[in-house]
Amino acid sequence: MKIHFRGEDICPKQTNGTYAGILRGWLRAIMFGEEPHEWAVTVPEKGFEVDTSAAEKEIDEMAEKLRQMKANPVFAAALQKVQAEI
């Protein structure tokens, strides 16, 4: 990583100095809610909550249509013929 400063590219050290390491660790702890601070608000994580009721209803309706189709003797015979060929 390079930082462009006053016409020159500066390559920072890969290791932290003593105070920089302490500050970086402290800021990281605040960012991730491990350390409370007055200007940091910790937002609790929630998993993805997806409303699947519409999809479940559609699947149930499709399953019911398939049951009705299988009850039809003509469809049942055609389905058996196709399954035999597979």
Give the tokens for residue 38. Answer: 């007055």
Predicted TM-score (pTM) of this structure = 0.36
Which range, of 4-8, 58-62, 81-85, averages the lowest pLDDT?
4-8
Q: What is the pLDDT of residue 8?
A: 76
- DSSP label at residue 38: T
Q: What tens digit of pLDDT does each residue of 33-60 get?
A: 788 877 777 666 666 677 788 888 999 9
Give the count of beta carbons closer than 10 Å to the beta carbon of residue 25.
13
Question: How many whole angstroms separate alpha carbon 31 and alpha carbon 59?
Answer: 43
Q: Cα–Cα distance between 35 and 25 in angstroms, integer?
A: 10
Rounded mean pLDDT, 12-37: 79
